[in-house]
Amino acid sequence: MKLKEISDGYFAGFGRGELPYLRCGGCGHAFYYPRNLCPKCSSGELALAASSGKGKVFSCTRIKTRDPARSPIYAIVELPEGFRMYTNVLADSAEIGDDVEVVFREVEGRIFPFFRPAGDAAP
């Protein structure tokens, strides 16, 4: 699979409200960031799959700004499919171990995944 094909598959998934990831056909390793080779075994046998979009905060930090309402929370979220991803958590606070779920937002004309507290009705 070529990198453009993989990237296009990610953005198509985002548009459908799905969180895609890659699974290696050679070793079974799951990873999020679009690549055309497995980072574990270097195989090119990759398949796009859709995640449940539910996970747990593995690590997080709030970047303090002059406007506390605009201070982003950067996190690593661990998903049950076996991969972790860097993301923003759209919340007033986040702690390690918090349950989160994916939400999609438009940024400069493209759809991207973010996370929010699980069960939070806020957009």
- At 65 the pLDDT is 85
Predicted confidence band at 121 (pLDDT cuts at 50, 70, 90)? Answer: low
How much is the pLDDT for 120? 77
Closest to 32 measured CA to CA, from 14, 110, 120? 14
Q: Could you tell me which residues are beta bridge partners of residue 114?
A: 103
Type of residue at 17 = G
Q: What residue segments make up the domains of the chain, in order of their start?
A: 3-117
Question: Looking at residue 68, what is its pLDDT?
Answer: 72
Predicted local distance difference test score (pLDDT) of residue 70: 77
Q: What is the mean pLDDT of residues 15-33?
A: 96
CB-based contacts of 107, cutoff 8 Å, min separation 6:
none
Is residue 108 helix, strand or coil? coil
pLDDT tens figures, 74-111: 999 999 999 999 999 999 889 999 999 999 999 999 99
Which of the 8 DSSP states describes residue 33? S
Q: What is the pLDDT of residue 122?
A: 57
The pLDDT value given to residue 38: 97
For the stretch 38-66, pLDDT in tens is 999 999 999 999 999 999 999 999 988 88
